[in-house]
Amino acid sequence: MWNTFKYTVKALVQEKSCFVWALAFPLIMATLFGAMFANLDSAHYLNPIPTAVVDDARYRNAQAFSETLEALAKSGENQLLDLFSVKSSAEADELLKNGTIIGYYQVDEKEQPELFITAASGNSINQTILKNLADGFIQTQAALKTIAENNPQAFADPNFLENLQEQTNYTQEISIIANEASGSVRYFYALLGFAAIMAANIAVIAVTQTQANLSPLGARRSLGATSRTKALLASLLASWLLAFLCLIITFAYMRYVLDINFGRDLASILGLGVASLMTTALGAFIGAIPKIGEMLKAGILTVLSCFFALFAGLYGEPSLKLADDMNRIAPLFQKLNPSRQVTDLFYSLYFYDGFDEFYRVVFVLLAMAAVLFLLAALLMRRQRYASL
Amino acid sequence: MSVVYVENLVKRYKEVLALDHFNLDIKQGEIFGLLGPNGSGKTTAINCMLQLLTYDKGVIKLFGQDMTPSRYDLKKRIGIVPQNIAVFEELTVTENVDYFCALYVSDKAVRTQLVKEAIEFVGLEEYVKFRPRKLSGGLIRRLNIACGIVHKPELIFLDEPTVAVDPQSRNAILEGIRSLNRNGSTIVYTSHYMEEVEEICTRIMIMDHGQILASGTNNELKAMIGTGEKIQVEVFNLSDEALGAIKALNCTQRASYDGKTLEVFCTSGAQNLSTVLQTLQQEGLALGRVYSEPPTLNDVFLELTGTELRD
């Protein structure tokens, strides 16, 4: 049995067709995804807003406003503004016109900041932030002025100014998912789901080479003095190992080269072990179908992989939407979609705190593997054939 | 002792009767030839004996015991060289031979020695690290044989082992089969090349359309048709009268003329050639080259079926 395992591994490793689809293709696709989605997540984060301020005498007199802008432009994690200091409004207009800045502030004769923007000067979110900043400053200044006029003794309280300046937030931001939201990870997970199904090719070839009715080599091996069950088990074990290695390599490439977050790495590897078991069972089943050539089986597998991947969200935004819609409309179909289930393995680790969802998906994949192995065994149970 | 015993084996492929009450009894130490055209049922018979194919009726015993798919004890004593090349394309010569040896022999040290001997036996020592795709057709056939005989089986089935090989490899393969037999193996050899079967087999069975046409030693088969000698004479302008004179000879079984060569099948006799030549000379004909040879298995097949073996 060990010899069969050893030589099956050796033979399958050199089967180019296996590795083109199970390894090379996912790696190439992952590289392309890496290049395509590099900026997808960063687009959700706020970058410092390029803003100018007219550094004239009024601005220098409006000490509170200038200190506020300097604080907001200070380098660091909370930097809000990328501040350009200009000598005149004409210079600021020029920067606004050529798109260097989103808007600019100028202090007016009432020592209040005025915001200048144009319709074409940037996205509305950044313009709103700049507007809110100016409005907030003016409101705070007005509040202080009113209090000073009506209740000057309030300033005797040493905590008064501190409390006034403190912006109390009455909402708390919490995340309902275990990790930081990322739009791109879904594509990589779907790609792993696709790669898992393509890895079934390995088992297709291994099974074809053990069955007397499928290949001359299978016929010869069937005539040996080693039990067919043992030989088949050794071949399936070799297929599982290679499918697992292919997925691990793709996973490692995504994780460590493309820096894709999988939530929990060890559990991901365990999940890949289960996924490769399911894919080996799928390959065993397709491989065992009689009267169909190896090429046709590979074709069937490619069609199945592409079809399942469509509903796992591999083909971009519309495919992702379709996958989500199918989850709602036809949950059973998605449960039976092996590509979707492998994708869900990683969702469960990335988006969920606990392991309940992960265990559920693992159970579904194991159940799929059991059913497919059973069907394969039914097809392969014969020891003699009506014709070869 | 009967190493292979088959009684009334019937095998149908839907409407086609592939084996029609096929019987076989091969004794230990024989090189038994199954001769027949492609599609005559040779490979089907072997696959039934080896329990790869189901069959409708019949008894199959190997080494005196009933053969079933799970008789691994019997399979251990059998070697198979299939008609189609059945080796791993991705493994080297040594790895291939070792893989098939391991299906029969678990002891690694024993296996290493057996693999070495098998490779030497088929003359592939210089190619041990080659993969099959780098080997010529003849060398691949030798590898195919090495994989089948590496465990030194007592009974070896060789199914058309010389198809599409060069004459050098063919001779090496035939000599190898004789050598295996000398070392104690019983051989079942199928072929549609009558010369090979004639050359190496101690007993021959001729079959066609799943039926046994004749069985016996080379000489016994030839004796069955009564032809003692086949004479061919190059002769021009042979008249119908002259052909009639030849056909009228006592020694002539049948005669034919194709416009260039006269072919005369004679009964056994010492004077056949001189009688035929004398008759032709009496007709005043100029003769070219003359050949005289004993009948071949093809003649036997022709006599039994009315068609050439390679038809």
Contact B90 A225 (CB under 8 A): no
**What is the pLDDT at residue B75?**
92
Tens digits of residue pLDDT in B205-238 = 999 889 998 899 988 888 887 778 889 999 988 8
Q: Nearest C-alpha of chain A: how many angstroms from B308?
A: 28
Is residue A179 scored above 70 in pLDDT? no
Shortest distance, CA B150 to any CA of chain A (angstroms): 12
User: Mutation test of the interface with chain A: which of B60, B103, B112, choosing the one with the most A Cβ atoms within 10 A?
Assistant: B103
Tell whether B143 is within 8 A of chain A (Cβ): no
Binning pLDDT at 50, 70 and 90, where does residue B311 land?
Answer: very low
**Average pLDDT in chain B:** 89
Chain A CB contacts of B102 below 8 Å: 3-4, 226
CB contact under 8 A, A384 and B53: yes
Confidence of residue B248 (pLDDT cuts 50, 70, 90): very high
User: How far apart are the C-alpha atoms of A379 and A310, rounded to whole Å?
Assistant: 29
**What are the distances in angstroms from CA A245 to CA A202, A273, A275, A368, B119?**
12, 9, 12, 21, 34
H/E segment holding residue A320: helix A317-329
Report chain A residues touching chain B, CB-CB < 8 A: 3-4, 7, 10-15, 209, 212, 215-217, 219-227, 231, 383-388
State the Cα–Cα distance between residues B42 and A275, nearest whole angstrom: 46
How, if at all, do strands B31-35 and B186-191 pair? Answer: parallel
> Nearest-CA neighbor of B82 among A45, A209, A166, A219?
A219
State the average pLDDT over residues B290-303: 85
For residues B271-276, give the mean pLDDT. Answer: 89
Q: Does B51 touch chain A (CB under 8 A)?
A: yes
- Taking 60 as the threshold, does the pLDDT of residue A44 lie above it? no
How many Cβ atoms from other residues are within 10 Å of residue A70's Cβ?
Answer: 13
Distance from CA of A354 to the nearest CA of B (A): 45
A137 — phi, psi (to 5°)?
Answer: -65, -45
Confidence band of A168 (pLDDT split at 50, 70, 90): low
Q: CA–CA separation, B297 vs B217, rounded Å?
A: 11
Q: Buried b vs exposed e over A210-243: b needs ≥16 C-beta within 10 Å?
A: bbbbbbbbbbbbbbbbbebeebbebbbbbbbbbb
pLDDT of residue A139: 86
Structure tokens belonging to residue B267: 């009964």
Q: Report CB contact under 8 Å: B75, A4.
A: no
Does the pTM surpass 0.80? The reply is: no
What's the gap in Å between the CA of A27 and the closest CA on chain B?
A: 24
Strand partners, B206: B35, B214
ipTM: 0.80
Residue B204 confidence (pLDDT) above 60? yes
Residue A303 structure tokens: 């069609």
Q: What does the pLDDT look like over A90-102, one tens digit per residue? A: 998 998 888 888 8
Report whether A102 contacts A122 (CB < 8 A). yes
Say yes or no: B102 contacts chain A, CB-CB below 8 A: yes
| pLDDT surpasses 70 at A176 | no
What token pair was written down for A288?
């065992």
The pLDDT value recorded for residue B116 is 94
B63 interfacial to chain A (CB closer than 8 Å): no
Shortest CB distance from A222 goes to which of B13, B52, B54?
A: B52
pLDDT at residue A43 greater than cutoff 60: no
Alpha carbon of B98 to those of A217, B85, B129, B147: distances in Å? Answer: 15, 16, 12, 8
**Over the range A179-208, which residues count as b (16 or more CB within 10 Å of their CB) and which as e?**
beebebbbbbbbbbbbbbbbbbbbbbbbbb
- Cβ–Cβ gap A386/B53 under 8 Å: yes
Compute the average pLDDT of residues A317-338: 87
> Look-up: residue for tokens 């199954």?
B34
Contact A225 B95 (CB under 8 A): no
Would the pLDDT of A42 be above 60? no
User: How many contacts, defined by CB atoms under 8 Å, are there between A and B?
Assistant: 83
